[in-house]
A and B are shown apart, each in its own frame.
Chain A
Amino acid sequence: MPSSDELEARISALEAELAAVRGQAADVSGRQKINQMSAEVVDSNPYSRLMALKRMGIVDNYELLLFDYDKVELANMNRLFFQPHQAGLSKVDAAVKTLKAINPDVSFEVHNYNITTVDNFKHFMERISKGNLTGDGAVDLVLSCVDNFEARMAINAACNELRQTWFESGVSENAVSGHIQFIIPGQTACFACAPPLVVATNIDEKTLKREGVCAASLPTTMGIVAGFLVQNVLKHLLGFGQAKEAAKPKVVIEAVKEEDVVHEENPWKIEVVSEITEEELISAEGDKPELVEGLQVAYTVPSSEAQTEDTVEQSDQSLEDLMAQMKQL
């Protein structure tokens, strides 16, 4: 059994070691924050390559607001951004640590929560509308880099209500295609009206989707889509190129020819008979937009008539009564 003196000595030794490690960690960032940005094009200026593009506009200090509620997992390492030692940190914290180390001139504000719940959503909207650098106005642009429909719809609702310009981005579930969509509320179709339901597929998705796995991810696809997104963000913020024009929907509508397969010989008169008629099928399917080759719709909305199903009756019971009744079941 070691004496208390020995233990104290051990503790102070470990504390010294910890302090040393912490000191090293603080040194990870290669430089200090820069107060005045230099336009000089020299090797020691971290912005020299960017400033060489000065004719495109002025690069101001900027602030990033990050929203996420996930923790870094080892499964995320294929995205190349998080590092193994960050496993267990919240994603926003890990992202800020890495980004700060790369560029201490950027201000960050992080929120580790799920934006689709009622309370968080209120705060999310508040930060979009008041989250600029001086804290008195809306942010310049919202970038949606989420991985599910619910979160996208929440961002869409917030940006519509606040008339906030935003970019939606995403990678398909099979990890081989993706999209970016520039949305100006009131000017371009919003995400709820024109979601990328149409998925470009030259290959059968089923062949790529491994049985029993929900979604795949390929870092190169993520990198390419992120690249498209950031390039267009720069075009939008710095005002070059055709960010707005290029983002307008440009789906060419053409008739798709469908040909029935006819077998020349059918000596036993075999034919496939559907249990439902063509009309029933069409009415159940609803309207289908005509799409160019390589595109298909993920689902359709049934036509609004033919609503003969039972709907819930008007109840005289109060909500409290119903809640109590549910509990007693």
Chain B
Amino acid sequence: MVDEVTKRTLAKIPLLKTKAGPRDGELWVQRLKEEYQTLIKYVQNNKESDNDWFRLESNKDGTRWFGKCWYIHELLKYEFDVEFDIPVTYPATAPEIALPELDGKTAKMYRGGKICMTDHFKPLWARNVPKFGIAHAMALGLGPWLAVEIPDLISKDVIKHKEKQDGASS
């Protein structure tokens, strides 16, 4: 289900303790702190292993998240906006991570650019409620999705490198 590299990455992301969603008041603040702690730890881990691949920030309530993620393919960096809402039923249900600019470009996506995580991620999340958080969703949901989809989309010429494209048009 999960390969060895992912397992090692995963082992280094601390698990969360507080089971609380955005409607749970003070408990949610506690959960949000844990989310930020694990995300900071995960990004630091990525930097240390020279595999830095996303940045995220949230609104004040921690209900809406946005940022950037990028993928290196043949020494070129492809960057995408990433966004998602924390559902009212979080953490029982995982956030639905979206890459809006890729909406309509691949069949492995739902409307609004929500990436398809049904097979590779949802069962895993369900087994790990409430220990998994946003960092885990990025590592096990978005990460593998990018690794499969982006090279494919590049090979199909559906997405082009931004600088290359600019160079050609100017």
Contact = CB atoms under 8 A, between A and B. Distances in A.
Given A154-B87, A319-B33, A214 B109 contact: yes
Contacts of A315: 33-34, 37
B100 interface: no
Which residue of A71, A300, A310, A329 has the most chain B CB atoms within 10 A of its CB atom? A329
Looking at chain B's contact residues, is the secondary structure mostly helix, strand, loop, or mixed?
Answer: mixed
Contact of B126 (A73, A118, A299, A313): A299
B6 interface: no
A319 B127 contact: no
Looking at chain A's contact residues, is the secondary structure mostly helix, strand, loop, or mixed?
Answer: loop
Contact of A192 (B37, B43, B47, B92): B92
A312 B14 contact: yes
Contacts of A116: 85, 87-89, 93
B107 interface: yes
Given A149-B122, A311-B131, A118 B29 contact: no
A219 B110 CA distance: 19
A319 B32 contact: yes
Interface in A102-157: 114, 116-118, 121, 148-150, 153-154, 156-157
B146 interface: no
A207 B47 CA distance: 41
B102 interface: no
B91 to A, nearest CB: 11
Nearest to B63: A118
Interface residues of A, number: 41
B51 to A, nearest CB: 14
A162 to B, nearest CB: 14
Interface string B107-123: 11111000010100011
Given A150-B87, A153-B92, A299-B123, A214 B116 contact: yes
23 contacts: A116-B93, A117-B63, A117-B85, A118-B22, A148-B110, A150-B89, A150-B94, A192-B92, A214-B109, A298-B123, A301-B127, A311-B14, A312-B14, A312-B15, A312-B17, A312-B38, A317-B33, A319-B32, A323-B36, A325-B36, A326-B40, A326-B43, A329-B40
